[in-house]
């Protein structure tokens, strides 16, 4: 088996379905003016793409970059899946930080350009912020980008921090994004607030008490999903 991007693409095409491709182009909002405008699909479901990624787990990084520049969504997803597994298997902090740098390069190059690509990668690479706290500056820089996917990645990095009970960054970051205009950012921020609340419900309540009137309704709904029904009703009434 040849370990190159062309071979990966061929393996994906073998599993492709035109009907699935049509469904995916609707699901990921690829029409004119929509957030995924112009994206195209071979037509595979996620488990199928992950199976190909597993087969090509030793793909060289130069070939991963080629996948991330592909016009086909599944090829970009597959390249990211390989990179994520490489990060998870890395033995040293140095290796993980190098892979994080590669991830940032790919994010800046524009191949990570839909919510599923961000959400299946950024939560893992966020571990780098625990290894080197100076990378929090990178998170803030991305959050101020004009690129929606870089902004969402900044939020999703916090999944790794939250799991280690580092909650300060997500509360501060969401506070800076309360007036963001895009629903996909409202969902991401609300999701991470919900995760923070699982670790420290009182901290989430304090944040809500200070900001509930400013929060977009979608963000608020996501953030309180795991709270009791009665308390959810109370927060929504205050909104």
How far apart are alpha carbons 99 and 90 in whole angstroms? 9
DSSP 8-state code for residue 42? -
The per-residue pLDDT for 171 is: 98
H or E stretch covering 91: none
pLDDT of residue 239: 78
Give the whole-angstrom CA distance, residue 103 versus residue 125: 8
How many angstroms separate the CA atoms of 49 and 75, rounded?
Answer: 8
Under 8 Å between Cβ of 185 and 148: yes
R_g (Cα) of the chain, nearest Å: 19
Rounded to whole angstroms, the Cα distance separating 134 from 83 reads 22
Distance of alpha carbon 186 from alpha carbon 217, whole angstroms: 8
Q: Which of the listed CATH numbers 1.10.150.120, 1.25.10.90, 3.30.160.20, 3.30.1300.10 matches domain 1-89? A: 1.25.10.90
Residues 6+ apart with CB under 8 A from 107: 142, 149, 150, 153
Domain boundaries of the chain, sorted by first residue: 1-89
Nearest to 42 by CA among 64, 68, 15, 63: 15
**Dist. CA 9–CA 168, nearest whole Å:** 42
Predicted confidence at residue 1, as pLDDT, reads: 77
Given a cut of 50, the residues of the chain with pLDDT beneath it are: none
């Amino acid at each position: 088996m040849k370990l190159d991007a062309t071979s990966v693409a061929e393996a994906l095409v073998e599993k492709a379905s035109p009907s699935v491709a049509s469904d995916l182009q609707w699901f990921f909002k690829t029409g004119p003016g929509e957030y995924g405008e112009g994206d195209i699909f071979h037509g595979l479901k996620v488990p199928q793409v992950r199976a190909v990624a597993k087969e090509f787990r030793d793909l060289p990084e130069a070939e991963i970059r080629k996948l991330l520049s592909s016009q086909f969504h599944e090829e970009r997803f597959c390249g990211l899946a390989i990179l994520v597994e490489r990060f998870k298997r890395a033995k040293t902090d140095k290796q993980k930080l190098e892979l994080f740098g590669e991830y940032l390069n790919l994010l800046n190059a524009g191949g990570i350009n839909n919510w599923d690509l961000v959400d299946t990668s950024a939560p893992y690479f966020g571990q780098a912020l625990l290894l080197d706290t100076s990378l929090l500056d990178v998170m803030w820089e991305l959050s101020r980008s004009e690129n929606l996917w870089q902004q969402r990645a900044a939020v999703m990095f916090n999944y790794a921090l939250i799991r280690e009970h580092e909650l300060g960054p997500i509360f501060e970051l969401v506070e800076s994004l309360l007036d963001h205009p895009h629903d996909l950012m409202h969902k991401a921020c609300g999701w991470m607030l919900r995760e923070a609340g699982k670790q420290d419900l009182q901290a989430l309540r304090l944040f809500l008490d200070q900001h509930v009137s400013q929060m977009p309704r979608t963000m608020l709904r996501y953030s309180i999903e795991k709270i009791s029904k009665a308390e959810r009703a109370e927060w929504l009434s205050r909104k």
